[in-house]
Chain A
């Protein structure tokens, strides 16, 4: 009895309104809102407003003008088509991958998980060269005739985003109770039937999460569209870039930005709707993952399918372009060899840094960006996973959930230019943020936040509220409920989230090219500089640096995977 000393009930505050608690939640909401407000909303609104402001007056005639051009509608059509098809293909190919890599186990799985993540971080300029080497002219897949076509762009988009589907769906699937599927099997459903009627619907929140992210990535893809789409192939994103950076037609850019925002918001609304319909409290019983069964009496048709599809994707879609990278990295002016890798050690004229130094810079920036992203996104996910009692607060939580996705759907050019014109005196403060070295990791974090939220949130949401209640009546304060119930469960997905955030930061180029210091370039910036120079040496070194970036990513992702095991425990 000695240890049990219940507080006298009267000690707590009377009434239901607890100011401390409200303040804590308010602060938790204020941090991400302030972050996104200053570094995302303010710049975007600032630049768009500039486009609608002529001679000191609001002028919306740009809408009528831009929207009456047939070209604009063609661009919108291409954008939607490309994003829809890209997302659909990525999901169809990614779900078997999620099964193979997260619902079975086999030797070399960790390596494979890292490998599929590599395309995600490769700079588009490198991917453009790699893809065109495969699809165009003398490439091994030239017979497809995909060079400079819609199909080529879609293939590259799937190449980039495959890992997003595999990881997001995989993280969700790993926590799904397999017994419902077993129950369906016991009720006489074939494995395929059980998958279609039980597992797939249960996976819907994870798939919707992944699809919404991939859709945004596809709709706002830039470099890869420019390189692979061929001339005349334009999307809203490339149009905004051209209008802003080449023509300085802010009016047209602002109209297109609004169009982009509408498209993105609509996509998010649809995805959110699909997600909410399914994202209820699931019983999530993590169970020992069965070994991959391809042969013998234990062979599973599902495993075979997953292995077949995923094998083909990895070899053809991911493997060929990456292999062409490696081959080119071994090609020097004097024949085959490792000369390009040796060159990573040298500081070329004006490159600012050697390959290794750039890699170190990339890692440092990525650590900061990941830290920021995880803190901000963690708070967002935490708040968005709550179900407040009042309808107003519930709506606010839903809005936060949606708003945080917007950075994925807004052009990096808009943000980059917006930062320059708004952050010299943000909110009238005499504080020129444009020169801050923190802008780089912050800009990368802004892009990573939605990914982390989308990875962690479904897992948090799937925790039964009664589990919180059980902990509360056992004497756990709200903080300790977070610490002992939500955290151990969320930590399982945090490894994945950290990996994704890190990958985003390592590969980010759009915003980075505006913000990076020339004397300390990141690896993608170095690659971009190298590939902008003539000669086999420069190209070879660029390719070697790309292989280094790819390797770095694979290692980081593999390490992040390990985080799952250790942080998942709650001791």
Chain B
């Protein structure tokens, strides 16, 4: 009999063994040893596009004595919804990556604890709400990108405005992302809301539909399959992407970019950081928010996350200066309006475009 029990014991043992074998994180210092040696661990919850150079993280840890534990929780929408669901037992201390399309939902749900960080120059314009719950960290413009080479080859002028896109000469040339499943897709839909108002945007989309707009599920799908740009094989010379995309299509040493962002078609996404309500380490969380706003991190943001820092004093990479200017007058929609109408707008869009 004891042998039979041995089998089961072995099974349990194997499970335990698995636990202490290969998956033990070597670089993820959440253990208690480092806690006692330093100021403890601070957990940063973020989305899966979060990225910063390793040396900046090490610098933060040695400066503060804290151990930074970064947890990614799916895309921005997933992350915010998870924070809402777990607000009674928060999964971290600080959050980064709540954007202006989700900001109001997070604030209204009581996910955040008030913390008014000292903002760098130029950041004030992006502040949301009056409680100071969220600090803007970076911004990005979602714009229609055009394959300049294609238009040159076809002797067509590159379109400039949202209205241009509905003209017959651009029929069947544009691919957008589904706003229900893609963050740039949602941003572009909001650009049209900003441009034509809550009453007029649907009429605009009707014209786009009549002009054979194509819809892809995700950005990579649209950009790498449908778009005719240099890194893809598609047949659509117009795609909804970012203002920061063109520099990455420029061959080494070239003076001109093969693609360009149409700066009159942009919606500005703003990403925020904040301290989570009920955080175990609220002081650490505040330090993380401050760190994200620090000049070193702000300077690293473009090349790491492909967005622009909120700090207007930060020097942008040369290729960005040359090929990725920001829109002067991006379209905007108030976060509160987005929170109130997002579901209705998405449903309306789906009914209109999908039928």
Q: Is this pair of chains taken from one and the same complex?
A: yes
Taking beta carbons and an 8 Å cutoff, which residues of A are in contact with B?
Answer: 18, 20-21, 23-25, 27-28, 31, 35, 50, 125, 128-129, 132-133, 136-138, 226-227, 229-232, 238, 242, 244-248, 250, 333-334, 347, 349-352, 364-365, 367-368, 371-372, 375-376, 378-379, 413, 416-417, 420-421, 424-425, 432, 434-435, 437-438, 440-441, 477-480, 482, 513-514, 516-520, 525, 528-529, 531-540
Q: A136-B225, A349-B53 are in contact. Are A519 and B27 (CB under 8 A)?
A: yes
Question: Are B248's CB and A535's CB within 8 A?
Answer: yes
Q: Which A-B residue pairs are the 9 nearest by beta carbons?
A: A350-B51, A535-B248, A20-B1, A536-B231, A24-B4, A232-B354, A27-B8, A534-B245, A364-B22
Does B5 have its Cβ within 8 Å of any Cβ on chain A?
yes
Does B296 have its Cβ within 8 Å of any Cβ on chain A?
no
29 A–B contact pairs at CB < 8 A?
Answer: A18-B1, A20-B1, A20-B5, A21-B1, A31-B8, A31-B11, A128-B225, A133-B225, A227-B221, A231-B215, A231-B217, A244-B81, A246-B81, A247-B346, A367-B22, A372-B18, A421-B89, A437-B24, A437-B25, A479-B4, A517-B25, A517-B71, A519-B70, A520-B28, A529-B49, A529-B51, A533-B306, A534-B248, A535-B245
Does B161 have its Cβ within 8 Å of any Cβ on chain A?
no
> Would you give the 0/1 interface string for B1-31, flagging 1 where the beta carbon is closer than 8 Å to chain A?
1111111100110110111011111011010
A529 is contacted by which of B7, B46, B48 (Cβ under 8 Å)?
Answer: B48
Q: Which residues of A contact B215 (CB under 8 A)?
A: 230-231
Question: Are B15's CB and A372's CB within 8 A?
Answer: yes
Query: What is the bound-complex CA distance between A424 and B82, given in angstroms?
Result: 13
Q: Which residues of A contact B54 (CB under 8 A)?
A: 347, 519
Question: Are B181's CB and A226's CB within 8 A?
Answer: yes
B4 is contacted by which of A367, A438, A478 (Cβ under 8 Å)?
Answer: A478
Q: A21-B4, A129-B224, A424-B89 are in contact. Are A136 and B234 (CB under 8 A)?
A: yes
Query: What is the bound-complex CA distance between A246 and B181, given in angstroms?
Result: 8
Does B50 have its Cβ within 8 Å of any Cβ on chain A?
yes
Does B131 have its Cβ within 8 Å of any Cβ on chain A?
no
- Is chain A's interface secondary structure helix, strand, loop, or mixed overall? helix
Taking beta carbons and an 8 Å cutoff, which residues of B are in contact with A?
Answer: 1-8, 11-12, 14-15, 17-19, 21-25, 27-28, 30, 43, 46, 48-54, 69-75, 77-78, 81-82, 84-86, 89, 91, 105, 178, 180-181, 215-221, 223-226, 230-236, 241-242, 244-245, 248-249, 251-252, 300, 303-306, 343, 346, 350, 353-355
Question: Are A247's CB and B51's CB within 8 A?
Answer: no
Who on chain A is nearest to B46 by CB? A518
Query: What is the bound-complex CA distance between A350 and B43, given in angstroms?
Result: 18
Query: What is the bound-complex CA distance between A35 and B12, given in angstroms?
Result: 10
Q: Which residues of B contact A375 (CB under 8 A)?
A: 11, 14-15
Who on chain B is nearest to A27 by CB? B8
A518 is contacted by which of B50, B78, B105, B245 (Cβ under 8 Å)?
Answer: B50
Q: A246-B77, A417-B82, A520-B28 are in contact. Are A132 and B231 (CB under 8 A)?
A: no
Closest CB-CB distance, B244 to chain A, in whole Å? 7
Closest CB-CB distance, A103 to chain B, in whole Å? 34
Closest CB-CB distance, B6 to chain A, in whole Å? 8
Q: Which residues of B contact A437 (CB under 8 A)?
A: 23-25, 28
Q: A136-B225, A372-B15 are in contact. Are A364 and B231 (CB under 8 A)?
A: no
Question: Are A129's CB and B220's CB within 8 A?
Answer: yes
Q: A349-B51, A438-B19, A534-B245 are in contact. Are A245 and B77 (CB under 8 A)?
A: yes
Question: Are A528's CB and B30's CB within 8 A?
Answer: no
Q: A125-B218, A232-B355, A534-B223 are in contact. Are A334 and B252 (CB under 8 A)?
A: yes
Question: Are B220's CB and A532's CB within 8 A?
Answer: yes
Who on chain B is nearest to A528 by CB? B48
Question: Are A434's CB and B85's CB within 8 A?
Answer: no
Q: Which residues of B contact A232 (CB under 8 A)?
A: 350, 354-355
Closest CB-CB distance, B296 to chain A, in whole Å? 14
B251 is contacted by which of A132, A334, A538 (Cβ under 8 Å)?
Answer: A334
Closest CB-CB distance, B214 to chain A, in whole Å? 9
Q: Which residues of A contact B249 (CB under 8 A)?
A: 534-536
Question: Are A425's CB and B221's CB within 8 A?
Answer: no
Q: Which residues of B contact A539 (CB under 8 A)?
A: 224, 231-232
Question: Are B85's CB and A31's CB within 8 A?
Answer: no
Q: Which residues of B contact A519 (CB under 8 A)?
A: 27-28, 54, 70
Q: Which residues of A contact B225 (CB under 8 A)?
A: 128-129, 132-133, 136-137
Closest CB-CB distance, A43 to chain B, in whole Å? 12
Closest CB-CB distance, A141 to chain B, in whole Å? 14
Query: What is the bound-complex CA distance between A440 and B23, given in angstroms?
Result: 9
Question: Are B226's CB and A137's CB within 8 A?
Answer: yes
Question: Are B70's CB and A518's CB within 8 A?
Answer: yes
Query: What is the bound-complex CA distance between A125 and B84, given in angstroms?
Result: 27
Question: Are A531's CB and B224's CB within 8 A?
Answer: yes
Q: Which residues of A contact B8 (CB under 8 A)?
A: 24, 27-28, 31, 379
Q: Which residues of B contact A352 (CB under 8 A)?
A: 51
Question: Are B304's CB and A350's CB within 8 A?
Answer: yes
Query: What is the bound-complex CA distance between A440 and B24, given in angstroms?
Result: 11
Question: Are A534's CB and B85's CB within 8 A?
Answer: no
Q: Which residues of A contact B346 (CB under 8 A)?
A: 246-247
- 17 extra interchain contacts, Cβ-Cβ under 8 A, other than A128-B221, A531-B220, A531-B224? A18-B1, A25-B4, A31-B15, A137-B226, A245-B77, A246-B81, A248-B84, A349-B53, A349-B303, A350-B53, A368-B21, A368-B23, A372-B15, A438-B19, A438-B23, A516-B72, A536-B231
Who on chain A is nearest to B8 by CB? A27
Question: Are A242's CB and B180's CB within 8 A?
Answer: yes
Closest CB-CB distance, A309 to chain B, in whole Å? 29
Who on chain A is nearest to B86 by CB? A420
Question: Are B5's CB and A23's CB within 8 A?
Answer: yes
Question: Are A351's CB and B51's CB within 8 A?
Answer: yes
Who on chain A is nearest to B181 by CB? A226
Closest CB-CB distance, A125 to chain B, in whole Å? 6
Question: Are A482's CB and B7's CB within 8 A?
Answer: yes
Question: Are A365's CB and B5's CB within 8 A?
Answer: no
Question: Are A536's CB and B306's CB within 8 A?
Answer: no
Q: Which residues of B contact A365 (CB under 8 A)?
A: 22-23
Query: What is the bound-complex CA distance between A417 and B79, given in angstroms?
Result: 10
Question: Are B233's CB and A534's CB within 8 A?
Answer: no
Q: Which residues of B contact A347 (CB under 8 A)?
A: 54
Question: Are A245's CB and B75's CB within 8 A?
Answer: yes
Query: What is the bound-complex CA distance between A248 and B74, given in angstroms?
Result: 14
Q: Which residues of B contact A528 (CB under 8 A)?
A: 48
Q: Which residues of A contact B230 (CB under 8 A)?
A: 333, 536
Query: What is the bound-complex CA distance between A9 and B6, given in angstroms?
Result: 24
Question: Are B77's CB and A533's CB within 8 A?
Answer: no
Identify the interface centre among A132, A248, A347: most chain B CB within 10 Å of its CB.
Answer: A248
Q: A245-B74, A375-B14 are in contact. Are A513 and B48 (CB under 8 A)?
A: yes
Q: Which residues of B contact A478 (CB under 8 A)?
A: 4
